[in-house]
Structure 1
Amino acid sequence: MKDIPKLGFGTYGRTGDAGIAALEKALEVGYRHLDTAQSYDTEKEVGAAVRNSGLARDDVWITTKIDMANYGPGKLAPSLEASIERLGLTPNLTLLHWPSPNGELPLEVYLDQIVEAKARGLTGEIGVSNFPIALLKSAISRAGEGQILTNQFEVNPLHNNHKLARFCQSVGVLVTCYLPIAKGRLAGEPTAEAIAARHGATVEQIALAWELAKGYAAIPTSSRADRIASNFAARDVTLSAEEISALDALPQQARAIDPDWGPDWD
């Protein structure tokens, strides 16, 4: 199976005809990685956009995520089969969207099911999302080395999650950044704005270039055609080592997504 394209397109909120149009635009400008989830209710839109694009199935990487309600014994595989039906294709990658809320289910209950789903051919690869170091260690130990392709979690220059990101890279797990452009909060940040000005770029492009330079994957999203194209053009921005270090040193903000039932973060 081919490698995951590092700059993908998130599909949260991209529902209905307008959502399909945004996804079609993303594929038109060059994105070859679409990230969806059972809880986003965008799997049908993703499938429609891929079919409408005229691209070969092998040319587009599709990631989906299992909702926590489908972690119980015997539930995961049927839920993934339903995702496949909605998508009209088998995903390249399927993630556990979060650890079980409040640790209600032991990790092995749902991790073993996703490993088995891969063995059955229901997904090409498997991974996790929002897993802190301790749970990621346990997942790797139980699933087997090389089985966990990625850990998707909140990363951007204003919330760099360096401790978790460095651990992931140390064990060969790809960091996939959600909220990679910080929901627009980089606007007006002096260091980011100065770097953007030097490159004739937007601060969003600078954030994405920073993530790509670190070897991460990133999945920005937008409903606007101009921003969809602009974000993709971040691939053309090359930051200096000094600029990367300056972005590493930005004052950090609290995570934007932090549910009460979430894990104990690093």
Structure 2
Amino acid sequence: MTLEMPVLGAGTFRLKGDDAYNSVIMALEEGYRHIDTAQIYENEEDVGRALYDSPVPREEIFLTTKVWIDRLSQDAFLPSLHESLAKLRTSYVDLLLIHWPLKDDRVPMAEYLGELKKAKDLGLAREIGVSNFTVAQVEEAVSILGKGVLFTNQIEVHPFLQNRKVREASEALGLKVTGFMPLAVGEAITNPTIVAIAEKHGATAAQVTLAWVRQNGMVTIPSSTKRKNLEANLKSLDLTLDADDLAQIAALDEGKRIADPDFAPEWD
């Protein structure tokens, strides 16, 4: 039976070495059971060491990694995944994602999605999905693999970039939405609207933001190197915002994108 993806995970973006190791160890100690990494983060080895050293059984942890853009070709894809699995000290990941779609056709989408599906068929990934895919790209991906094959589209979502078009298109095609950078690299924590809602509930601004993501039907993966933040973030699961709170946060959307490298697709 496939492990269900917890709605709140511990991300490891920008964490390396002991920072990554300690963050994962603390997250597991606090009760997180969803860990997110990627080849390009250069921390799979640190994450793997933490998973190995933790007393939490591997089968209780939902583990995600992502294949980088220079490893999408048929000859590089599966070897890169085997390398990731060796670093992570596991025989499988619970979720394997294409980290970014390619802007050009140097590797056709059908080729790299075919390799992604192969990874699942071989038991190297229990679920497969995509990340940073636009509406057109999600539609193309589903047309290639068929409905019900792709599990999620992991995209940037926070109060200032709510990404509604892509969320709606992904959900309509049967993909869960996983939002990354939910706190907008700290901006959400100091936003006066969010701070006021937090004060009303006796909560933190981070908890309010994470509750907003959850109540919009998304999974999210904030990262932290501090135990108190990991613990506080987990308590967001006990917070329920009212309709007025949700409406106030919905009004903060200004299309403010943080993750926008030069190889990014043409955004919706």
TM over 0.5, yes or no? yes
Q: 1:244 aligns with which of 246, 249, 257?
A: 246
1:50 to partner: Cα distance: 1.6
Query: What are the equivalent positions in structure 2 for 1:216-255 lying under 5 Å apart?
Result: 216-255=218-257
- In the alignment, the residues of structure 2 paired with residue 17 and residue 157 of structure 1 have an alpha-carbon distance, to the nearest angstrom, of 31
| Cross-structure match for 2:162 | 160
1:110 to partner: Cα distance: 0.8
Equivalent residues of 1:102, 1:263 under 8 A apart: no
Equivalent residues of 1:66, 1:76 under 8 A apart: yes
* Percent sequence identity over aligned pairs: 38
Q: What is the alpha-carbon root mean square deviation over aligned residues?
A: 1.3
Equivalent residues of 1:102, 1:261 under 8 A apart: no
**TM-score (ref. length: structure 1):** 0.96
User: Greater shift after overlay, 105-114 or 89-98?
Assistant: 105-114
| Cross-structure match for 2:51 | 50
Q: Secondary structure at the match of 2:195?
A: helix
1:204 equivalent to 2:172? Answer no
Q: Secondary structure at the match of 2:169?
A: helix
Which 5+ residue runs of structure 2 have no aligned equivalent?
A: none
- In the alignment, the residues of structure 2 paired with residue 215 and residue 48 of structure 1 have an alpha-carbon distance, to the nearest angstrom, of 32
| Cross-structure match for 1:193 | 195
1:189 to partner: Cα distance: 2.1
1:147 to partner: Cα distance: 0.7
1:187 to partner: Cα distance: 3.5
Equivalent residues of 2:44, 2:84 under 8 A apart: yes
Q: Secondary structure at the match of 2:49?
A: helix
Equivalent residues of 1:38, 1:67 under 8 A apart: yes
- In the alignment, the residues of structure 1 paired with residue 215 and residue 122 of structure 2 have an alpha-carbon distance, to the nearest angstrom, of 35
**TM-score (ref. length: structure 2):** 0.96
| Cross-structure match for 1:256 | 258
1:98 equivalent to 2:100? Answer yes
1:102 to partner: Cα distance: 4.2
| Cross-structure match for 2:267 | 265
1:105 to partner: Cα distance: 2.4
Q: Secondary structure at the match of 1:23?
A: helix
Which 5+ residue runs of structure 1 have no aligned equivalent?
A: none
1:85 to partner: Cα distance: 0.6
- In the alignment, the residues of structure 2 paired with residue 54 and residue 151 of structure 1 have an alpha-carbon distance, to the nearest angstrom, of 31
1:253 to partner: Cα distance: 4.3
- In the alignment, the residues of structure 2 paired with residue 66 and residue 108 of structure 1 have an alpha-carbon distance, to the nearest angstrom, of 15
- In the alignment, the residues of structure 2 paired with residue 245 and residue 142 of structure 1 have an alpha-carbon distance, to the nearest angstrom, of 37
| Cross-structure match for 1:29 | 30
Aligned residues: 266
1:76 equivalent to 2:77? Answer yes
User: Greater shift after overlay, 63-72 or 236-245?
Assistant: 236-245
Which whole-Å deviations, capped at 9, do the CAs of 1:85-125 have from their partners, x for residues lacking one? Answer: 11111111100000014453221121111111111111111
Equivalent residues of 2:162, 2:253 under 8 A apart: no
Equivalent residues of 1:92, 1:125 under 8 A apart: yes
Q: Give the direction of change, closer, same or farther, for the CA distance of 1:103–1:239 in structure 2 (3 Å limit).
A: farther
Equivalent residues of 2:162, 2:255 under 8 A apart: no
Equivalent residues of 2:71, 2:77 under 8 A apart: yes
| Cross-structure match for 1:125 | 127
